[in-house]
Chains A and B, each alone.
Chain A
Amino acid sequence: MSEKLAGFGLGMRRPHYRSYIDGTAPVDFIEVISENFMIAGGKPLDTLMKARRNYRLALHGVSMSIGSADGLRSDYLTELRRLVDMMEPAVVSDHLCWTRIDGFNSHDLLPVPYTEEALAVVCRNIDRAQEAVGRRMLFENPSSYIAFPGGMTEWEFLAEMTRRTGCGLLLDVNNIYVSAQNHGFAAEDYLAGIPMDAVGQIHLAGHVQGEHLLIDTHDQPVPDEVWALYRAAMELAGPVPTMIERDDNIPELDELCAELDVARSISADSAAERIAA
């Protein structure tokens, strides 16, 4: 099986495990949360092994904490490498965020200030992570609800991060939309500032309107505004492996596949327009 991620995929969620084990889900790849499978053995690993025989795999982490000022945890990296060696995924990714400090782990994707100091910390941690995992990784842009004073925009930070470390980007289009609304920047400026040749994967998801802010819940269908932004991203980036990332309120598999068909259609339209141009 080729190890290059391509096409259109879904996050592998428990209600749909049987379809992935049987190989009947009409997707090109699956993505799982790495930490859910960084375990000794048992049914979860057995399920992933069986699904892996049918689909290319992306491992997507939530606890690496590349923004931590006090560095990465060696035991975490060892366990992740073990899983990578076992599953031979096409992609290994995590987030531009921090989750842990001084032994405290928030289990949330907390925002990093876009300062030179933070950039140096993040790049140092990415270098260590890529060496430990033995491959180039992708890092996802977060959605955020607080913006700290800093000298850079998020897209400037991401661009410099990829330049210094050689890492790739996992572009979550919903997260761009949510953060743009919450912090008052233009999503189009964000896309224009991203080094599109570094984008190795795209996430699509939904959100909800909170009392004051948009909340990135990943528990809703992809809304029209995010589809529009996806179209804009595809026009800039060209074909990029794309998936629906539904984390909660999981619908029937058919419903997610119908959303994926919309992504296929937008991607095909963008490709046709590029050829015509």
Chain B
Amino acid sequence: MSLLALQRDFRDWLVTGEDSAAAALGGGPGTAVYQNNYRTALVSSLAETFQRLVLWLGEEDFEMAAARYIDARPPSSWTLDAYGEDFTDFVATLWPDDAEVAEIALIDWTVGQVFVGMDSYALCAEGLSVADWETAVIHPVPSLLVLPIRTNADEIWQALATEETPPPAEMAPRGTALLVWRQDLEPVFRRAEAHERDVLAWSAAGEGFAAVCARLADTLGEEAAVTTAGTLLGRWLAEGMIAAVG
């Protein structure tokens, strides 16, 4: 048997766990060791990545979901940390009537990604020096992500992370979104304030501060728009969310 054929047989054994695939490798107790190693490593990796989901579902349901995911999505990435990339969507199909399940998974996944995301310096208020506010553009830190959510998954996640009793799942107000970013080396998240998501999106699209204020003025009026934009910018600077303004 060629090396390529042997490796494909081995892959088939790991993925399917079928006796015929084991027989192609010669059978024996050694094949079972590799089968066990394969599945154990993947379940452990998922449990490490989705720690709050494990707490919310309980180990039995989590391991059932992990086992079905492993059957459906054999790993392809060279790092185990990436294996859970599709797990959020997968659990959404397993618990279609419990939207908080997939959203807790999404927060687990996103926090993990932000934890190892690109480094950047955060601008502080004292370091802010803008020559022309008309054209200045707000640049968030590269780790910042905006996650739309439909439930109170964020409150459940925080309670589980601090070993408190989580609240019951319930729907969040329409338009709720989380801001997830890294303060120095630690991932943090909170709910976006009213208009905050819009201002961030406009800024990310390259619109200058003056243009952002003008768009806000369409709904808030000019004076309230400037106040709102200024308040948001001050908060972002204090929270380490801004890389540059200019």
Contact = CB atoms under 8 A, between A and B. Distances in A.
Q: Do A and B come from one complex?
A: yes
A100 B10 CA distance: 10
Contacts of A70: 4
Contact of A108 (B3, B7, B8, B38): B38
B14 interface: yes
A145 B33 contact: yes
A145 B33 CA distance: 7
A105 interface: yes
A54 B6 CA distance: 45
Contacts of B41: 107-108
Interface string A156-178: 00000000000000000000000
Contacts of B118: 40-41
Nearest to B42: A107
Contacts of A45: 116, 119
Size category of the A interface is 35 or more
Contacts, number: 113
B76 A210 contact: no
A44 B116 contact: yes
Interface in B4-42: 4, 6-8, 10-11, 14-15, 25-26, 28-31, 33-34, 37-38, 41-42
Interface string A25-53: 00000000001101111111110000000
A100 B182 CA distance: 33
Contact of B119 (A42, A144, A182, A215): A42
Given A41-B117, A43-B186, A100-B78, A145 B30 contact: yes
Give the secondary structure class of B's interface. Answer: helix
A107 B83 CA distance: 10
Interface stretch (A111-119, A184-192, A234-242, A263-271): A111-119
A43 B10 contact: no
Contacts of A41: 116-119
Q: Size range of the interface on B? A: 35 or more
B79 interface: yes
Contacts of B76: 103-105
Nearest to B3: A69
A141 interface: no
B78 A101 contact: no
A38 B77 CA distance: 13
A69 B11 contact: no
Given A69-B7, A113-B6, A118-B3, A42 B185 contact: yes
Contact of A76 (B37, B42, B45, B78): B78
A110 interface: yes
Contact of A106 (B4, B26, B75): B75
B30 A146 contact: yes
Nearest to B4: A69
B141 to A, nearest CB: 11
A104 B3 contact: no
B31 A146 contact: yes
Contact of A101 (B4, B33, B80): B4
Interface of A: 35-36, 38-46, 63, 67-70, 73, 75-76, 98-108, 110, 112-113, 115, 117-118, 121, 144-146, 148, 182, 210-213, 215
Query: What are the 10 A-B residue pairs with the smallest beta carbon separation, nearest first?
Result: A145-B30, A41-B119, A212-B29, A69-B4, A146-B30, A39-B116, A43-B185, A101-B7, A145-B33, A63-B78
Interface of B: 2-4, 6-8, 10-11, 14-15, 25-26, 28-31, 33-34, 37-38, 41-42, 45, 74-81, 83, 114-119, 182, 185-186
